[in-house]
Chain A
Amino acid sequence: DAGVIQSPRHEVTEMGQEVTLRCKPISGHNSLFWYRQTMMRGLELLIYFNNNVPIDDSGMPEDRFSAKMPNASFSTLKIQPSEPRDSAVYFCASSRTGGEENYGYTFGSGTRLTVV
């Protein structure tokens, strides 16, 4: 298994540009999570999907952020327009969830976003 695959690994963009981060979860995992990590705020959950449906997007900072999961093997996180304060490492994680089973998450390697 290749694990959770995120692309790109690094992204440098100018303020005001659109940024799209991509994630391929592990096959068979039915939940997908987007997290943002910064020194100041630690790990923040942005949004999570279960069976491709967004369950909770209360962590999305503002309307500039949007996420989609068109199928079980692909998700995107889009920032439009981007701002310098969006600079962070964005992680995608996937898991099997449901019932009483205790599954942990598998994280991707992250996308380091720098907005200048």
Chain B
Amino acid sequence: AQSVTQLGSHVSVSEGALVLLRCNYSSSVPPYLFWYVQYPNQGLQLLLKYTSAATLVKGINGFEAEFKKSETSFHLTKPSAHMSDAAEYFCAVRKTGGFKTIFGAGTRLFVKA
């Protein structure tokens, strides 16, 4: 069965600092991996997805994530945080060819001025 663990329910960074949100997954088969962002009072938006074509995946708003099979990780990074990045971020996993996506518990990102 697939599962995903997000380390840290809250992360706080200063504006301009590196953003690092951690995600580890478990899957018995090669998975599809995703990061979603949720702004207050909105639904989740797809930030980026791992397609197996490249281990480093670039998404919207300057975010990227690196798939590391040996570490079963898919951490999300952004070189320089902006105030508008403050939101909740969800890592998610789905079995290749499967229907069902499992979401992590979410990490709330705070950006300080």
Could you list which residues of chain A lie within 8 angstroms of chain B, going by C-beta atoms?
4, 31, 33, 42-43, 45, 48, 50, 55-56, 91, 93, 97-100, 102, 104-110
Contacts and interface: CB of A to CB of B under 8 A. Distances in A.
A43 B52 CA distance: 26
- Which of A4, A55, A56, A100 gathers most chain B CB within 10 Å? A100
B45 A56 contact: no
B99 A42 contact: no
Nearest to B104: A42
| Interface residues of chain A: helix, strand, loop or mixed (majority) | strand
Interface residues of B, number: 23
B34 A104 contact: yes
B106 A91 contact: no
A107 B36 CA distance: 10
Contacts, number: 51
B50 A97 contact: no
Contacts of B99: 31, 48, 50, 55-56, 97
B103 to A, nearest CB: 4
A102 to B, nearest CB: 5
Given A48-B99, A56-B99, A99-B97, A42 B43 contact: no
